[in-house]
Amino acid sequence: MAAKRYTSMAYASADEMTFGVSKYPVKAGLDLEIGAGYTIPEINYAPRPEAGASKEKLVKEYERITTDIMERMVQVGFPAVILETEHVQQMSNNPSWGAEVAHAQKTIMEEYHDEYGIKCALRHTIGDIRENRDFLQLRGDKYSVFLEAFEECAKAGADLLAVESMGGKEVFDYAVLRNDIAGMLYSIGCLGSIDMELIWSDIAAIAKKTGTIASGDTDCAQANTAMFIGGGLLNKNLAHTLAVLARAISAPRSLVAYECGAVGPGKDCGYENVVVKAITGMPMTQEGKTSTCAHSDVMGNLIMQCCDCWSNESVEYHGEFGGTTVQCWSETLAYDCALMNTALETKNDKILRDLLMLSDRYRDPQSYVLAYDNAYKVGQAIVKDGDNIYLRAKNAAVECCNIVEEGAAGKLELSRFEAKALADAKAALEALPDDMDKFMDDCLTKYKSEVKVFLPENYGL
């Protein structure tokens, strides 16, 4: 299907948004309704390194993981859970492996659902395997294997289909290490969006055919790369003001999935999901303080503010004092959800939302922009030119600069370095043309010459 662009906001104001409630709840899996008035823990895990040696070992590993989680949820009395299996490459390169894992997991989940009535769903996140050793190969031979992995997993038991797609990453990796804001805009906002439209039209068709849910995509490959390179306050690898610009630009890119038929819940590591929720009204998974097992961030509480599902990003399966890692982390997630759900039931949700948001609001420019009121403004800038993938990404970046500047005039402290990086980026943005064709032509010439691994044919250019 052609992308149906968003040109207006789903919510009339930022204050309408809260956790556990979305405009368009999604029914999925075994009696689950997502974004329908309660939050749901979504546990994510990785097999131990040696488990990838064979299909049998891998399936067995996921059976252990699934049983451990379901058992712990029942033992502590939690009413609902989502399991997210992010494919290791063997499972997507060999769709039958992914399908066998999905089948094994779903069988166990059905047993628990039958016996205890626990509501649950299984998300499979297919690996973006569309590359060879030297280049991205987004439209080449691997594309059919990629789609086959979605279909086989859907048929075998996966309820929610997702991916963290890589379109634009080859240019982004070059640009982000050179403070190149135009390159970031081109890679995420344009190349990423072009690729998203291709794949999400096909994934949505597979979901429709198999009776499953096309859930969503995150800009992990780019905006999270910027966030990770940016690191903590003392790291010297990337100004956090540039990391948040990558994040703002990623929102219109991740939006494309929903414009092509995805319905949520958006995937956990999309910190841009709060903007996407404001625009689409669809439920979103987020991760923050409970994903410290996978990575650090500077907005662990804040990012919980409007989540519908609450995730840990990923944890390697092994033993801890309190059980296996998946048991410990799923229990932690579920307790957080119990608190949010208590706030919802007692009508204290907006108070808790604001406490979560405020505790990190001024911690960093990244958290400042993603505070729900500011995220809403980024969303408004996007839908203003919603029909033009370049202009809306540029608008998001400019609005992000304005928000940080306004914040810095108040209680948001910036280092001199962060302020200079922001000023340089804003000047670079102001120098860009308004005409998308000109921007695309200029960038094509520049990055074909400077980035050896950039193949325009990957994007039909």
Name the one range near another protein by CB under 8 A: 29-37, 156-164, 279-287, 415-423.
415-423
Using CA atoms, how far residue 430 sits from 3, 182, 355, 405, 427, in Å, is 28, 10, 36, 15, 5
Name the one range near another protein by CB under 8 A: 41-49, 153-161, 183-191, 272-280.
41-49
- Distance between CA atoms of 51 and 461, rounded to whole angstroms? 40
- Distance between CA atoms of 32 and 159, rounded to whole angstroms? 10
Selection from 182, 242, 277 nearest residue 364 by Cα: 242
List the 119-126 sheet strands across, edge first.
213-217, 160-163, 119-126, 80-86, 40-45, 309-311, 285-287
CA-based end-to-end distance of the chain? 20
What is the closest distance, in whole angstroms, from the C-beta atom of residue 288 to another protein in the complex?
A: 15
- Distance between CA atoms of 140 and 64, rounded to whole angstroms? 36
What is the closest distance, in whole angstroms, from the C-beta atom of residue 117 to another protein in the complex?
A: 34
- Which of 119, 215, 418, 429 is the binder for another protein (CB under 8 A)? 418
- Which of 1, 76, 339, 358 is the binder for another protein (CB under 8 A)? 358
- Which of 1, 355, 423, 427 is the binder for another protein (CB under 8 A)? 355
What are the counts of helices (DSSP H) followed by strands (DSSP E) for the chain?
Answer: 17, 11
Cis status of the peptide bond prior to 95, with omega within 30 of 0? no
- Distance between CA atoms of 351 and 343, rounded to whole angstroms? 8
Q: How many CB atoms lie within 10 A of CB 211?
A: 9
- Which of 359, 384, 451, 461 is the binder for another protein (CB under 8 A)? 359
Q: Does 12 bind another protein (CB under 8 A)?
A: no
What is the closest distance, in whole angstroms, from the C-beta atom of residue 78 to another protein in the complex?
A: 27
Name the one range near another protein by CB under 8 A: 186-194, 196-204, 320-328, 349-357.
349-357
- Which of 30, 88, 154, 432 is the binder for another protein (CB under 8 A)? 88
Name the one range near another protein by CB under 8 A: 16-24, 88-96, 181-189, 386-394.
88-96
Q: Is there a contact between 57 and 88 (Cβ–Cβ < 8 Å)?
A: no
Instruction: CB nearer to another protein: give 1 or 177.
Output: 177
What is the closest distance, in whole angstroms, from the C-beta atom of residue 264 to another protein in the complex?
A: 26
Show the binding pattern over residues 128-147: x = contacts another protein (CB under 8 A), - = does not.
---x-xx-------------
Q: Does 363 bind another protein (CB under 8 A)?
A: yes
Handedness of CA 1, 275, 239, 225 (dihedral sign): negative
Instruction: CB nearer to another protein: give 110 or 450.
Output: 450
Report the residue count for the chain: 461
- Which of 85, 90, 241, 286 is the binder for another protein (CB under 8 A)? 90
List beta partners, residue 217.
163
Q: Is there a contact between 326 and 43 (Cβ–Cβ < 8 Å)?
A: yes
Q: Does 409 bind another protein (CB under 8 A)?
A: no
Chain residues 175-234 in contact with another protein, contact rule CB under 8 A: 176-179, 225, 229, 233-234
Show the binding pattern over residues 301-320: x = contacts another protein (CB under 8 A), - = does not.
---------------x----
Chain residues 51-80 in contact with another protein, contact rule CB under 8 A: 51-52
Selection from 365, 200, 378 nearest residue 278 by Cα: 378
List beta partners, residue 51.
none
Q: Does 373 bind another protein (CB under 8 A)?
A: yes
Give the DSSP H or E segment for 33. strand 32-36
What is the closest distance, in whole angstroms, from the C-beta atom of residue 209 to another protein in the complex?
A: 30
What is the closest distance, in whole angstroms, from the C-beta atom of residue 56 to another protein in the complex?
A: 15
What is the closest distance, in whole angstroms, from the C-beta atom of residue 400 to another protein in the complex?
A: 18
Instruction: CB nearer to another protein: give 120 or 185.
Output: 185
What is the closest distance, in whole angstroms, from the C-beta atom of residue 416 to another protein in the complex?
A: 6
Interior angle at CA 197, CA 194 and CA 200, nearest 5? 140
Q: Does 167 bind another protein (CB under 8 A)?
A: no
What does the buried/exposed string (b/e) look like for 45-74 if buried means 16 or more CB atoms within 10 Å of the residue's CB? bbbeeebbeeeeebbebbebbbbbbbbbbe
Q: Does 48 bind another protein (CB under 8 A)?
A: yes
Residues 6+ apart with CB under 8 A from 248: 272, 275, 369, 378, 396, 397, 399, 400
Binding residues for another protein, rule CB under 8 A, total 45
- Which of 12, 321, 411, 431 is the binder for another protein (CB under 8 A)? 411
Q: Does 116 bind another protein (CB under 8 A)?
A: no
58: DSSP letter = H
Instruction: CB nearer to another protein: give 110 or 231.
Output: 231
Which stretches of the chain bind another protein, using CB under 8 A? Answer: 15, 46-52, 88-90, 131, 133-134, 173, 176-179, 225, 229, 233-234, 236-239, 316, 354-355, 357-360, 362-364, 373, 411, 413-418
